[in-house]
Amino acid sequence: MDAIAIDETLFAQLDPPLLSGSGCAECGVVVFPAADRCPGCAGANVVRQALPGRGTVWTWTRQSFAPKPPFEAPASGFEPFVVGYVDLGAVLVESRIVGEVVIGDQVELCLLAVSDAEFSFAFEKVASERVAS
């Protein structure tokens, strides 16, 4: 059996993965996750849109203790992880971040297995591009 998204409404597409947000046609506010009404002006003229797949680490912290339920630690036990905000231009997205990062690093969206049957999303550092000499 293939893994399924823990919440398929979070994604605009899976290959390559892009998150689904919404943008207000009245005031321009963009939010994630997508909403039926604008939190900026309370307008209902919102449109679902794919968010950029790359962004910049705005801030981060290391989660050193297990979150409250419904979080379930794997059989191997809880392992600390990085969580932060990623600036996608029009919106900040709170997310797990894979690997070590510093504020200002470029990151890209990836799929993150949360069990054998389900996945969610995270961001991971963009590999440095080599400059030819």
pLDDT tens for 76-114 read 889 999 999 999 999 999 999 999 999 999 999 999 998
Q: Residue 8 falls within a domain, yes or no?
A: yes
How much is the average pLDDT of 55-82? 90
Q: Residue 111 falls within a domain, yes or no?
A: yes
Question: Do residues 112 and 121 lie in contact, with contact meaning Cβ atoms separated by under 8 Å?
Answer: yes
Q: How far apart are CA 99 and CA 97, in angstroms?
A: 6
Q: Residue 121 falls within a domain, yes or no?
A: yes
Q: Residue 119: name the closest of 108, 130, 110, 106 by CA.
A: 110
Q: Residue 116 falls within a domain, yes or no?
A: yes
Q: Residue 60: name the closest of 125, 9, 131 by CA.
A: 125
65: left (phi over 0), alpha (psi -120 to 50) or beta: beta
Q: Residue 44 falls within a domain, yes or no?
A: yes
Q: Residue 60 falls within a domain, yes or no?
A: yes
131 pLDDT band, cuts 50/70/90, is very low
Q: How far apart are CA 89 and CA 81, in angstroms?
A: 24
pLDDT score recorded for residue 128? 67
Mean pLDDT of the chain: 91
At residue 37, does pLDDT exceed 60? yes
pLDDT score recorded for residue 123? 98
- If one counts the domains in the chain, the total is 1
Question: Do residues 95 and 121 lie in contact, with contact meaning Cβ atoms separated by under 8 Å?
Answer: yes
- Does the reported pTM lie above 0.95? no
State which residues form the domain around 98: 4-125
Percentage of the chain surpassing pLDDT 70?
Answer: 95
Q: Residue 114 falls within a domain, yes or no?
A: yes
pLDDT score recorded for residue 133? 43
